[in-house]
Amino acid sequence: MTGEPLRIGVLGAARIAELSIVGPARAGGHRLVAVAARDRDRATAFAQRHGVERVVGSYADLVADPEVEVVYNPLANGLHGPWNLAALAAGKHVLTEKPSASNAEEAAEIHEAVSKAGTVFMEGFHYLFHPVTRRLHELLDTGELGELRHVETVMAMPAPADSDPRWSFPLAGGALMDLGCYSLHAQRMLAPWAGGAPRLVAARGGERREEPGVDEWLDADLEFPSGATGTARCHMAHPDRQFSCRIVGSRGEATAVNFVQPHRDDRVVVRTASGERTEELGRRSSYTYQLDAFAAHLRQGTPLALDAGDALTTMRLIDDCYRAAGFPVRPRTVLPTAM
């Protein structure tokens, strides 16, 4: 680590935080200053298990804590927007789990709040920082794959429990929000090799039984200015787990077998006229690469690939996909004034 450790406050005691912030903070020598959860006992157990310095009484206490420099937000989707706004209003840097907001209107408010706060805001598309994704981009950059023709991203997993907040419409749930945002974002990041950002051509999806308005699966068709096409698929009740990204060029193709969880499978399979090869890019966590990049930006001013503008663009595309597939845009959560 170079520079002073980050002083991180964690909203909630979610299991994902063990992989997404606890491990990376330890690896980078950063401080987990405080944690808050709705259930104080859970927060206390989380703090004891992961070496968090102290427990505070509420989310509001955490974002107001003068020792907390960075707020990490892994709450349910519908709570990302309001607590991101609260943290920004308190003058904190924010690293938020995706999606950054419930809809584009809320994301636009966050974008404006970042400008006013003068702090750093990043949506946690951690995959982008890993050598697996950097290698896919490099294969396009070097010309080995030729000109980009098509990209297919697939995010599929077995269904979480019926009671899981990812199935809750009021909490901005749905397959596109939880999984498909990765599929769309990975395609957006190919703009430099496709003449610009993709536009939505069509979308279709299926509703979760007994969950009106909540998408169980959704597919989106995209087109880039160069004429290249994209298919972004997501399914949150699939028999198997598949997190793949396949890039097809005029001279060959490359597939990242698990671009979102390269710590589980770091293979990139490259096929060209000269044959097929498999490259292994390392299983260091993409979340650790992400926090390294975030810290380097805060401490040394190193450029950061993601910001509030990027988050807003992604959220607009998500809303467009929902409308095109016949689903309502997710509602925003309004916090009680007492919180």
37: domain CATH number is 3.40.50.720
- 162 with 264, same domain: the answer is yes
Instruction: Specify the DSSP class assigned to residue 172.
Output: T
Strands (E), the chain: 7-11, 31-36, 54-55, 70-73, 93-96, 121-123, 148-156, 199-207, 215-223, 229-235, 242-249, 252-256, 267-272, 275-280
Compute the distance between CA of residue 11 and CA of residue 35 in angstroms, rounded to an integer.
6
Question: Which pLDDT band, with edges at 50, 70 and 90, does 335 fall under?
Answer: confident
pLDDT score recorded for residue 2: 62
How does the average pLDDT of the chain come out, rounded?
A: 97
Instruction: Specify the pTM.
Output: 0.97
pLDDT score recorded for residue 337: 59
- 209 with 230, same domain: the answer is yes
Pairing of strands 93-96, 121-123: parallel
pLDDT digits (tens, 9 = 90+) for 145-189: 999 999 999 999 999 999 999 999 999 999 999 999 999 999 999
Q: Can you tell me the mean pLDDT for 297-303?
A: 98
Compute the distance between CA of residue 303 and CA of residue 152 in angstroms, rounded to an integer.
28
- 170 with 116, same domain: the answer is no
Question: Which pLDDT band, with edges at 50, 70 and 90, does 1 fall under?
Answer: low
Give the rounded percent of residues in the chain with a pLDDT score beyond 90: 97
Q: Can you tell me the mean pLDDT for 89-106?
A: 98
Most distant pair of Cα atoms in the chain: their distance: 65
- Helices 308-324 and 181-188, axial angle in degrees (round to 10): 120
Check which CATH number belongs to the domain holding 191 and give it. Answer: 3.30.360.10
Residue 339 predicted with pLDDT over 80? no
The answer to whether residue 332 sits within a structural domain is no
Q: Is 264 left (phi over 0), alpha (psi -120 to 50) or beta?
A: alpha
pLDDT digits (tens, 9 = 90+) for 19-64: 999 999 999 999 999 999 999 999 999 999 999 999 999 999 999 9
Question: Which pLDDT band, with edges at 50, 70 and 90, does 246 fall under?
Answer: very high
- 16 with 89, same domain: the answer is yes
- 74 with 35, same domain: the answer is yes
CB distance 62 to 11 below 8 Å:
yes
Q: Can you tell me the mean pLDDT for 293-312?
A: 98
pLDDT score recorded for residue 336: 75
- 99 with 187, same domain: the answer is no
| Residue 155, beta-bridge partner list | 234, 243
- 187 with 278, same domain: the answer is yes
Cβ burial, residue 75 (10 Å; 0-12/13-18/19+): buried
pLDDT score recorded for residue 203: 98
Residue 293 predicted with pLDDT over 70? yes
CB distance 113 to 88 below 8 Å:
yes
Q: Give me the domain span that covers residue 154.
A: 131-283
